Structure 1
Amino acid sequence: MKVAQKIETQIKTLKEGTTFKYQQLSIELNEYSAAAKAMERLIEKGTIKRVSTGIFFKPKQSIFGALKPNEEELLKPYLFQSNKRIAYITGLSLYNRMGLTTQVPRTIKIASRDKRITVSLGNIKGNPVKSYVDVTDKNFVLLEILDALKDFKKIPDLDKSAGIKIISNQLKSLSLKEIKQLMDCALSYPPRVRAFLGALLEKMDLTIELKTLKKSLNPLSEYNYGIDKKTLPTLTNWNMK
């Protein structure tokens, strides 16, 4: 099969609004020159559009014409390497999506363990932050929860009672296996995060052992989150206040 045919066949399988790179098209190194020409022809036909150098999207059609992909979709190619997730969006963008704040940041934070990811796509700007553990498709949602606990005190216009309900509901949606994985990841986070997580999990009264989290904390340390005991009755068990 010719390179152009191979590319068109693969693009047909993509959903409208999807962003992608050359690497996702299973192109051999010796095929890149032919692939670049094939991609230019597809751009001219309007089958695909260029987001930036080496990044494209399959436009979604509407009565008003081709729609641009949303912000998260545009950033997606930067979050993966060789089809494996290596990063995730954190900070105010994440907390806004979680419903913890109404504020929208000018610059998006992109967390990765080993790679510094900087993005500049028109009005979308992304700056790198270091994740506490290696990021995968199986754990990035768990890391989002832990980041929210880490930054809980400094999330702007946060209603703490509502915030705890939102995060508690996310915890309740996890399986016991995922919660155990969450606790393992938490061991790499600051002590205040482990204490907060322990208090939330204890309040849920799960059939899961919390000793590992408890033993990881200094019994003389206190963690001041400014949370009312009525909102989180278990907080004193974890030296929170």
Structure 2
Amino acid sequence: MNITTSIKNKVARIDTGEVFTYDTLSIAQSEFSAAAKALSRMVSNGVIKRYKNGMYYKPKQTAFGELKPREDELLKNYLFENDKQIAYITGVRLYNHLGLTTQVSNVMRLASKDKEIKTKIGSLVIKPAKSYISVTKKNVPLLQLLDVMKDFKNIPDMDKKLGIDFLKEKIDKLSDADKDKLTSFAKAYPPKVRALLGALLEALSLDQLSQSLKETINYLSSYEFGISEKTLPAITNWNIT
């Protein structure tokens, strides 16, 4: 089977509106030139459309005109590489999704350990953020929880008590294995994250995990989160204000 026929068959199996790339089509580097010509012919014939260089989609017609690819479909190409997750959504977009703020931003932060992701998707501006841990699909929810702690003081319009209750509930519902991972991952984060997580673990009577974090913190340092002792009594043991 030649490359043109192979690509046509693969594209035929892709749903309308779904974004695909050379990686999606499993095109070998030695076949890129022939594949580019085949895809260009398909664009010219209206079978597919080019979203941007190297990214294509099958257009879907509705009563209101052509339906563009969804934002989440376009994001997949930045969140995943060779079917492995390499980045995750963080920042205000995440905190809005979690119900911690009502603010919506046209800037989305994508955190990755090894890549700096900058691009635009329509009016959405993608900016890079730092992931302190190598990203996998399984650990993203834990890293996002730690990001909430890291940005806790600066999450727009967030009620601090609501934020603490949210974190306590999420941590309490984790499996024992994930609680261990969360604590281990926190050790790669700034000290203020370890302090807040330590106080939360103490409040949940997870003393062994809490103590393992206290050993990593300078007892002379203090951390400002804008949290009252009434909201989280354990802060007195962690120099948190």
User: Residues 114, 4 of structure 1: CA spacing in aligned structure 2 closer, same or farther, 3 A cutoff?
Assistant: same
**How big is the alpha-carbon RMSD for the aligned residues of Structure 1 and Structure 2?**
2.5
Q: Which amino acid aligns with 1:113?
A: K
CA distance, structure 1, for counterparts of residue 212 and residue 34 of structure 2: 55
Q: CA deviation at 1:116?
A: 1.7
Higher mean Cα deviation, 186-195 or 196-205? 196-205
TM-superposition CA deviations, 1:40-91 (whole Å, max 9, x none): 3444565543221111234566554543333333222122333322222221
Paired with 1:231 and 1:17, the residues of 2 have a C-alpha distance of 46
- Correspondence 1:64-83 to 2 at 5 A: 64=64, 66-83=66-83
* Structure 2 match to 1:89: 89
Instruction: Look up the match of 2:166.
Output: 166
1:225 counterpart letter in structure 2: F
Between 33-42 and 224-233, the greater mean CA deviation after superposition = 33-42
1:191 is displaced (CA, Å) by: 0.9
Number of residue equivalences: 241
Cα gap change, 1:220/1:68 in structure 2, threshold over 3 Å: closer, same or farther? same
SS in 2 for 1:126: strand
* Structure 2 CA distance for partners of 1:170 and 1:12, relative to 1, 3 Å: farther
Task: Give aligned-pair identity as a percent.
Answer: 48
> SS of the counterpart of 1:108?
strand
Q: What residue in structure 1 maps to residue 223 of structure 2?
A: 223
| Structure 2 unaligned regions, length at least 5 | none
C-alpha spacing 1:29/1:155, structure 2 compared with 1 (3 Å)? same
Question: How far apart are the structure 2 equivalents of 1:169 and 1:5?
Answer: 53
Q: Counterpart of 1:118 in structure 2: which amino acid? A: K
| Corresponding residue for residue 19 of structure 2 | 19
TM-score (norm 2): 0.86
- Aligned partner of 2:105 in structure 1 is 105
| Cα distance in 2, alignment partners of residues 184 and 95 from structure 1 | 23
- Change beyond 3 A, Cα 1:84–1:218: same
SS in structure 1 at match of 2:126: strand
CA separation of 1:160 and 1:47: change in aligned 2, threshold 3 A: farther
Q: Residues of 1 paired with 2:97 and 2:195: CA distance?
A: 24
Equivalent residue, structure 1, for 2:141: 141
Contact 1:195 1:217 in 2 (8 A): yes
Q: Distance in 1 between matches of 2:226 and 2:113?
A: 30
The separation in 2 between residues aligned to 1:207 and 1:58, in whole angstroms, is 54
Decide which moves more: 17-26 or 191-200.
17-26
Between 159-168 and 3-12, the greater mean CA deviation after superposition: 3-12
Report SS of the residue matched to 1:171: helix
Letter in 2 for 1:212: S
Change in Cα spacing, 1:9 to 1:180, as seen in structure 2 (3 Å) is: farther
Q: Residue in 1 aligned with 2:177?
A: 177
Deviates more, 1:103-112 or 1:140-149: 103-112
Partners of 1:12 and 1:47 in 2: CA distance = 10
